[in-house]
């Protein structure tokens, strides 16, 4: 992979230190949920954690995935910055890294060059696709050649380089709400329930897509209605909790589509969010290929993809 740093970007000059810090931060976040055993339980905070977790999932699915990786709809520059901040709050690395890895995934899906295939025959595996791929040396840096369209914006370069600043601000806000006495009983309590738990929920759902949506393991009720060269599957419950990303076979057949839930019963929450933002005048030029609409209506497909 070409790791040449484009002009205008900055990073620590020591690759081993960069990777060590990333590995430590990502692994630490896998255990933050244990903080629930150290703070008082409140039903209201649990409900808030679930809601915020799903808001973060929408940020990843609508932002990292459908907008920055596939450009399946268009927004103004200001709202583009909002989406970048929203997606980055999930602690899923940065927009440049995420889009680079995902575009690489589509080029080489379920082959040895796929960054996160769960298939052992392609050199992956469940644990690799669920967690280890994100800290694998091969995936340590973005391939900047794949995200030249994003590098054209200075603000995206900055957010993409320093995504953990967004997470730190989110964590600080969560702590501050409790420390100020506005919510909960302490800063630690609100940090756990309003930051650590939502981020954990979001990360587990996104990781589940990388494994379950490629059939490792294959969930009862999974189905593959559209021809693809990979093992991508649809699953209605996974599609629901992932706000649409779990209709993965639909996505791999129509990768540029902003709408992934195509057939009856395929509830696509992120597409609903895109339509809401369109009504608010923040989103335009939503791409849903006519063949995808035809398939959604009839259950039959043509030969072309888009």
> Distance between CA atoms of 281 and 267, rounded to whole angstroms?
23
| CB 54 within 8 Å of CB 207 | no
| CB 95 within 8 Å of CB 68 | yes
DSSP 50-81: HHHHHHHHHIIIIIIIIIIIT--SEE-HHHHH
Whether residue 8 is predicted with pLDDT greater than 70 in this model: the reply is no
> Peptide bond preceding 130: is omega within 30 degrees of 0, i.e. cis?
no
Q: Is the pTM of this model over 0.95?
A: no
pLDDT at 261: 98
Tens digit of pLDDT for each residue in 73-113? Answer: 999 999 999 999 999 999 998 999 999 999 999 999 999 99
pLDDT at 7: 66
Q: Which two tokens stand for residue 245?
A: 């990303």
Question: Hey, where are the domains in the chain?
Answer: 25-298
151 phi/psi in degrees, rounded to 5: -65, -15
pLDDT at 305: 52
Q: Which two tokens stand for residue 118?
A: 């769960």
Tens digit of pLDDT for each residue in 229-267? Answer: 999 999 999 999 999 999 999 999 999 999 999 999 999
Whether residue 302 is predicted with pLDDT greater than 70 in this model: the reply is no
CB neighbour list of residue 43: distance below 8 Å, 6 or more residues apart: none
Whether residue 1 is predicted with pLDDT greater than 60 in this model: the reply is no
Q: How confident is the model at residue 116 (pLDDT cuts 50, 70, 90)?
A: very high
- Residue matched to tokens 């005048």: 281
Tens digit of pLDDT for each residue in 13-68? Answer: 767 777 778 778 888 888 999 999 999 999 999 999 999 999 999 999 999 999 99
Q: Which two tokens stand for residue 99?
A: 């889009």
């Amino acid at each position: 992979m070409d790791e040449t740093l484009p002009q205008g970007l900055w990073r620590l000059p020591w690759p081993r230190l960069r990777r060590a810090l990333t590995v430590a931060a990502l692994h630490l976040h896998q255990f933050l949920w244990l903080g629930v055993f150290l703070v008082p339980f409140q039903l209201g905070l649990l409900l808030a954690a679930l809601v915020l977790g799903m808001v973060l999932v929408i940020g990843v699915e609508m932002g990292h995935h459908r907008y920055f990786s596939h450009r399946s709809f268009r927004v103004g520059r200001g709202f583009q910055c909002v989406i970048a901040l929203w997606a980055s709050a999930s602690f899923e690395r940065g927009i440049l890294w995420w889009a680079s890895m995902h575009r690489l995934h589509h080029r080489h899906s379920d082959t040895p060059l796929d960054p996160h295939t769960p298939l052992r025959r392609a050199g992956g595996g469940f644990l690799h696709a669920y967690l280890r791929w994100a800290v694998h040396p091969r995936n340590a840096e973005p391939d900047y050649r794949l995200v030249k369209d994003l590098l054209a914006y200075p603000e995206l370069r900055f957010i993409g380089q320093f995504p953990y600043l967004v997470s730190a601000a989110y964590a600080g806000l969560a702590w501050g709400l409790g420390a100020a006495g506005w919510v909960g009983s302490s800063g630690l309590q609100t940090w756990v329930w309003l930051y650590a738990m939502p981020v954990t929920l979001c990360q587990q759902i996104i990781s589940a897509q990388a494994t379950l949506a490629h059939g490792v393991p294959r969930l009862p009720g999974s189905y593959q209605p559209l021809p693809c060269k990979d093992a991508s599957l649809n699953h209605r419950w996974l599609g629901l909790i992932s706000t649409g990303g779990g209709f993965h076979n639909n996505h791999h057949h129509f990768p540029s589509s902003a709408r992934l839930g195509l057939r009856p019963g395929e509830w696509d929450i992120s597409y609903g969010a895109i339509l809401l933002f369109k009504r608010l005048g923040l989103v335009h030029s939503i791409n849903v290929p006519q063949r995808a609409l035809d398939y959604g209506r009839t259950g039959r497909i043509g030969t072309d993809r888009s």
